Amino acid sequence: MTQKSQSEKAWPAAVITVSDSCASGLREDLSGPAVAKTLRSHGFETIAMLIVADEQKAIEDALRRAAAHARLVVTTGGTGIAARDVTPEATLSVCDRVLDGVAELMRAEGARTTPLAALSRGVCGTLGTSIILNVPGKPEAAAGSLLAALPVLPHALDLLAGHTEHSNDRRAARSAHTDKERRKGARA
Protein backbone atom coordinates (compact mmCIF):
# COMPACT_ATOMS: atom_id res chain seq x y z
CA MET A 1 0.00 0.00 0.00
CA THR A 2 1.42 3.38 -0.91
CA GLN A 3 1.60 5.95 1.80
CA LYS A 4 -0.81 8.80 1.26
CA SER A 5 0.69 12.24 1.74
CA GLN A 6 -0.43 13.69 5.06
CA SER A 7 -1.37 16.92 3.28
CA GLU A 8 -4.11 14.97 1.42
CA LYS A 9 -6.05 14.28 4.64
CA ALA A 10 -6.94 16.30 7.71
CA TRP A 11 -3.97 17.09 9.91
CA PRO A 12 -4.65 16.61 13.64
CA ALA A 13 -4.34 19.95 15.44
CA ALA A 14 -4.63 21.19 19.00
CA VAL A 15 -5.53 24.71 20.13
CA ILE A 16 -4.31 26.07 23.45
CA THR A 17 -5.70 29.36 24.74
CA VAL A 18 -3.30 31.01 27.16
CA SER A 19 -5.24 33.39 29.38
CA ASP A 20 -5.50 33.93 33.12
CA SER A 21 -9.03 35.32 32.81
CA CYS A 22 -10.29 32.50 30.58
CA ALA A 23 -8.64 29.86 32.77
CA SER A 24 -10.35 31.28 35.85
CA GLY A 25 -13.73 31.51 34.10
CA LEU A 26 -13.90 35.31 34.20
CA ARG A 27 -13.93 35.68 30.41
CA GLU A 28 -15.23 33.58 27.54
CA ASP A 29 -12.60 32.15 25.21
CA LEU A 30 -13.24 33.64 21.77
CA SER A 31 -9.78 33.18 20.29
CA GLY A 32 -9.55 29.40 20.64
CA PRO A 33 -12.78 28.82 18.70
CA ALA A 34 -11.70 31.36 16.04
CA VAL A 35 -8.42 29.47 15.57
CA ALA A 36 -10.23 26.10 15.44
CA LYS A 37 -12.65 27.45 12.82
CA THR A 38 -9.76 28.71 10.67
CA LEU A 39 -7.97 25.38 11.00
CA ARG A 40 -11.12 23.44 10.03
CA SER A 41 -11.60 25.55 6.92
CA HIS A 42 -8.03 24.75 5.84
CA GLY A 43 -8.00 20.98 6.18
CA PHE A 44 -7.02 20.51 9.82
CA GLU A 45 -9.01 18.55 12.39
CA THR A 46 -8.98 20.08 15.87
CA ILE A 47 -8.61 17.10 18.20
CA ALA A 48 -8.06 19.08 21.41
CA MET A 49 -8.88 22.53 22.78
CA LEU A 50 -7.32 23.57 26.07
CA ILE A 51 -7.25 26.68 28.23
CA VAL A 52 -4.28 27.33 30.52
CA ALA A 53 -3.24 30.23 32.73
CA ASP A 54 -0.28 32.44 31.87
CA GLU A 55 2.13 30.22 33.80
CA GLN A 56 5.23 29.04 31.95
CA LYS A 57 5.28 25.52 33.44
CA ALA A 58 1.55 25.00 32.73
CA ILE A 59 2.04 26.16 29.12
CA GLU A 60 5.09 23.90 28.65
CA ASP A 61 3.19 20.89 30.00
CA ALA A 62 0.18 21.62 27.76
CA LEU A 63 2.44 22.00 24.71
CA ARG A 64 4.16 18.67 25.33
CA ARG A 65 0.85 16.85 25.89
CA ALA A 66 -0.73 18.38 22.80
CA ALA A 67 2.28 17.70 20.55
CA ALA A 68 2.18 14.03 21.54
CA HIS A 69 -1.16 13.71 19.69
CA ALA A 70 -1.40 16.65 17.26
CA ARG A 71 0.86 17.51 14.36
CA LEU A 72 0.05 21.22 14.69
CA VAL A 73 -0.33 22.95 18.05
CA VAL A 74 -1.55 26.55 17.91
CA THR A 75 -1.44 28.70 21.02
CA THR A 76 -3.41 31.91 21.23
CA GLY A 77 -2.54 34.58 23.77
CA GLY A 78 0.43 35.49 25.89
CA THR A 79 2.59 36.76 23.01
CA GLY A 80 2.83 40.42 24.02
CA ILE A 81 5.21 42.26 26.31
CA ALA A 82 3.17 42.33 29.52
CA ALA A 83 4.83 40.75 32.55
CA ARG A 84 2.68 37.59 32.39
CA ASP A 85 3.05 37.09 28.62
CA VAL A 86 5.30 34.02 28.69
CA THR A 87 3.95 31.88 25.85
CA PRO A 88 7.04 32.45 23.63
CA GLU A 89 9.38 31.48 26.48
CA ALA A 90 7.39 28.31 27.18
CA THR A 91 7.38 27.45 23.47
CA LEU A 92 11.10 28.01 23.05
CA SER A 93 11.82 25.84 26.09
CA VAL A 94 10.08 22.80 24.55
CA CYS A 95 10.97 23.22 20.87
CA ASP A 96 13.74 21.34 19.08
CA ARG A 97 14.11 24.01 16.39
CA VAL A 98 12.78 27.50 15.75
CA LEU A 99 11.12 28.47 12.45
CA ASP A 100 11.84 32.21 12.49
CA GLY A 101 10.49 32.80 8.99
CA VAL A 102 6.98 31.68 9.96
CA ALA A 103 6.83 34.18 12.84
CA GLU A 104 8.12 36.87 10.46
CA LEU A 105 5.29 36.05 8.01
CA MET A 106 2.72 36.47 10.78
CA ARG A 107 4.12 39.79 12.02
CA ALA A 108 4.34 41.13 8.46
CA GLU A 109 0.69 40.24 7.88
CA GLY A 110 -0.32 41.85 11.18
CA ALA A 111 1.59 45.03 10.31
CA ARG A 112 -0.73 45.47 7.33
CA THR A 113 -3.52 46.37 9.78
CA THR A 114 -1.73 47.69 12.87
CA PRO A 115 1.76 48.90 13.75
CA LEU A 116 1.30 47.15 17.11
CA ALA A 117 1.96 43.81 15.40
CA ALA A 118 5.65 44.60 15.85
CA LEU A 119 5.13 44.04 19.59
CA SER A 120 4.03 40.43 19.10
CA ARG A 121 6.68 38.00 20.27
CA GLY A 122 4.96 34.89 18.93
CA VAL A 123 7.29 32.14 17.76
CA CYS A 124 7.04 28.98 15.72
CA GLY A 125 9.07 25.85 16.24
CA THR A 126 9.18 22.08 16.02
CA LEU A 127 8.76 19.47 18.71
CA GLY A 128 9.45 16.05 17.26
CA THR A 129 7.24 15.78 14.17
CA SER A 130 4.87 18.52 15.37
CA ILE A 131 4.84 22.26 14.80
CA ILE A 132 4.00 24.71 17.57
CA LEU A 133 2.74 28.11 16.46
CA ASN A 134 2.03 31.10 18.75
CA VAL A 135 -0.63 33.58 17.58
CA PRO A 136 -1.97 36.68 19.37
CA GLY A 137 -4.90 36.56 21.78
CA LYS A 138 -7.38 38.75 19.92
CA PRO A 139 -9.62 36.58 17.71
CA GLU A 140 -9.11 38.64 14.53
CA ALA A 141 -5.34 38.86 15.02
CA ALA A 142 -5.14 35.15 15.87
CA ALA A 143 -7.00 34.14 12.70
CA GLY A 144 -5.01 36.60 10.55
CA SER A 145 -1.69 35.36 11.87
CA LEU A 146 -2.70 31.76 11.35
CA LEU A 147 -3.82 32.49 7.79
CA ALA A 148 -0.42 34.02 7.06
CA ALA A 149 1.36 30.87 8.26
CA LEU A 150 -0.95 28.24 6.77
CA PRO A 151 0.51 28.19 3.23
CA VAL A 152 3.85 26.80 4.47
CA LEU A 153 2.63 24.47 7.22
CA PRO A 154 1.58 21.41 5.14
CA HIS A 155 4.98 21.27 3.46
CA ALA A 156 6.74 21.73 6.79
CA LEU A 157 4.66 18.94 8.33
CA ASP A 158 5.44 16.67 5.37
CA LEU A 159 9.15 17.32 5.85
CA LEU A 160 8.94 16.59 9.58
CA ALA A 161 7.16 13.32 8.76
CA GLY A 162 10.12 12.33 6.57
CA HIS A 163 8.48 13.05 3.22
CA THR A 164 11.41 14.91 1.71
CA GLU A 165 10.80 14.18 -1.97
CA HIS A 166 10.03 17.25 -4.05
CA SER A 167 8.11 15.94 -7.01
CA ASN A 168 7.05 18.36 -9.71
CA ASP A 169 3.41 17.41 -9.08
CA ARG A 170 3.56 18.43 -5.41
CA ARG A 171 5.43 21.64 -6.23
CA ALA A 172 2.90 22.51 -8.94
CA ALA A 173 -0.04 21.82 -6.60
CA ARG A 174 1.43 24.03 -3.87
CA SER A 175 2.20 26.77 -6.39
CA ALA A 176 -1.34 26.67 -7.77
CA HIS A 177 -2.77 26.86 -4.24
CA THR A 178 -0.50 29.81 -3.36
CA ASP A 179 -1.42 31.64 -6.58
CA LYS A 180 -5.13 31.07 -5.88
CA GLU A 181 -4.78 32.43 -2.32
CA ARG A 182 -2.79 35.43 -3.58
CA ARG A 183 -5.49 36.26 -6.14
CA LYS A 184 -8.19 35.87 -3.51
CA GLY A 185 -6.30 38.28 -1.21
CA ALA A 186 -5.88 40.82 -4.01
CA ARG A 187 -9.65 40.87 -4.60
CA ALA A 188 -10.44 41.43 -0.91
What count of Cα atoms within 13 Å lies in the side-chain half-sphere of residue 176? 6
This prediction's pTM = 0.84
The superfamily (CATH) of domain 8-157 is: MoaB/Mog-like domain (3.40.980.10)
More confident residue, 68 or 182: 68
Residues shown for the chain: 188
For residues 29 and 17, the answer to whether their CB atoms sit within 8 Å is: yes
Domain locations in the chain as residue ranges: 8-157
Segment 126-160, tens digit of pLDDT: 999 999 999 999 999 999 999 999 999 999 999 99
Q: What is the 3-state secondary structure (H, E, C) of 114-126?
A: CHHHHHCCCCEEE
